[in-house]
Amino acid sequence: MGEAEYGGSGGMMMGKNKDRRIVVAVDESEESMYALSWCLTNLLSQQAKTNNIISINNNTIVLLYVKPPPPAYSSMDPTGYLFAGDVVATMEKYSRDLANSVMNRAEEVYRGFNTTTIKVEKKIGSGDAKNVICVAVEKLAADVLVMGSHDYGFFKRALLGSVSDYCSKHVKCPLVVVKRPKNA
Amino acid sequence: MGEAEYGGSGGMMMGKNKDRRIVVAVDESEESMYALSWCLTNLLSQQAKTNNIISINNNTIVLLYVKPPPPAYSSMDPTGYLFAGDVVATMEKYSRDLANSVMNRAEEVYRGFNTTTIKVEKKIGSGDAKNVICVAVEKLAADVLVMGSHDYGFFKRALLGSVSDYCSKHVKCPLVVVKRPKNA
């Protein structure tokens, strides 16, 4: 491996005027909203100042929400047999409502910041969160992936926590795992 | 849990004029130097601009290098018995040289950036890297921990890779795991 030169403009990595595309995985948790807020404060609310040349990066923030996969009922499942239509419709509505609610919440968060130089895109995926996130990061050619971390003990949060472990192994870009301090 | 307000100045999290302390774990790898460079470009080379108020953050970057623990020989180990004095002295010298070399390399990296508003501190620890890093992050009250990620297959790199997994579970601040793109 040759010696790489990291000094100088620092533009080598990002390109001084290269658009940055930052994917923020959001869900219904406070942790993910904190992660978005952290990202806006630490990665986006900035004018890059490198070697005394001030350049405003063109930043795109992609809010990525992953809906859980639709429930699968076997024809032998009495619950599915009796209620499948209603239950599935209700769950689908709930899932849509949740997605909207998460995106609205995220919108509230970034509206509080100076986002005039930031483009915001919203993407909603469906399936296993960790796979969907990794595939999306690859497809979107993200420069950074930002996600919240859930460090207390409910089953769901243990599952969500493992998403960041999985992503740290599988995404090719830098990953920011943001923990929400107890007092925030 | 009450509704937290993440909008507004964004100063809630970092404090608009609060000093930020960013710990960058460095080692002899290219990946860690890339992580330092990424950090300087994306987290530090900036003037925070929030709600149209430009404020320059006081950033301190703490370069943290962890030396491996000194080798322990049992008195029953013939290699240790025969060569302990020489071997230990040689390894200690090697370890010191390595620490110096890593710090010098890191210095080269951050000198290439505009670091006039950034204080740089150097800390050298000794022991199991993952534990030392987590303890240091806590002690230094770090706002962010930045580390490189090693994703190819040598034994040592597999071990180093697990450091970021461990840290993501144990540190309380946001963790940035930076992967070095293949073309950098």
pLDDT tens for each residue of chain B, 184 residues long: 444 555 444 433 433 446 789 999 999 889 999 999 999 988 875 544 444 444 456 889 999 999 887 766 555 555 555 556 777 788 788 888 999 999 999 999 988 886 677 889 999 999 989 999 999 999 999 999 999 987 655 565 555 557 888 888 889 999 999 988 776 5
Inter-chain contact A51–B113, Cβ cutoff 8 Å?
yes
pLDDT of residue A62: 96
pLDDT of residue B61: 93
Nearest to A175 among B33, B49, B177 (CB): B177
More confident position, B66 or A45: B66
How close does chain A come to B175, measured CA to CA in Å?
Answer: 5
pTM of the entire predicted model: 0.78
| 3-class state of residue A68 by DSSP | coil
Q: Which of A20, A41, A160, A164 to mutate to test the interface with B (most CBs of B within 10 A)?
A: A41
Confidence of residue A162 (pLDDT cuts 50, 70, 90): confident
Confidence of residue A48 (pLDDT cuts 50, 70, 90): very low
Neighbours of B10 (CB within 10 A): 24
d(CA A48, CA B153): 35
Q: Which residue of A has its CA nearest to B171?
A: A179
pLDDT of residue B121: 94
Write the CB contacts of B146 (distance below 8 Å, at least 6 apart in sequence).
B22, B23, B24, B25, B35, B36, B38, B39, B43, B175, B176, B178
Its sign, for the CA torsion A89, A90, A93, A94, is negative
Q: What digits encode the pLDDT tens for the residues A131-161?
A: 999 999 999 999 999 999 876 555 655 555 5
Q: What digits encode the pLDDT tens for the residues A84-95?
A: 677 778 878 888
pLDDT of residue B174: 94
pLDDT of residue B83: 58
Nearest to A4 among B7, B176, B184 (CB): B184
Nearest to A168 among B38, B111, B168 (CB): B168
CB B25 within 8 A of CB B36: no
| 3-class state of residue A46 by DSSP | strand
Element (H, E) at A159: helix A155-170
Inter-chain contact A38–B113, Cβ cutoff 8 Å?
no
pLDDT of residue A54: 45
Nearest to B6 among A10, A12, A37 (CB): A37
More confident position, A174 or A114: A174
pLDDT of residue A87: 74
Chain B residues inside the 8 Å CB shell of A105: none
Tokens read off for B13: 């999290």
pLDDT of residue A104: 94
pLDDT of residue B17: 46
Query: Percent of chain A beyond pLDDT 70?
Result: 66
pLDDT of residue B92: 82
CB A83 within 8 A of CB A90: no
d(CA B83, CA B72): 13
How close does chain A come to B176, measured CA to CA in Å?
Answer: 4
pLDDT of residue A73: 56
Mean pLDDT (chain A, rounded): 77
How close does chain B come to A21, measured CA to CA in Å?
Answer: 12
The residue length of chain B stands at: 184
CA A149 to chain centre: 11
Least confident among A20-24, A109-113, B88-92 = B88-92
Inter-chain contact B12–A184, Cβ cutoff 8 Å?
yes
How close does chain B come to A84, measured CA to CA in Å?
Answer: 34
Q: Which residue of A has its CA nearest to B4?
A: A184
Mean pLDDT for the stretch of residues A59-78: 76
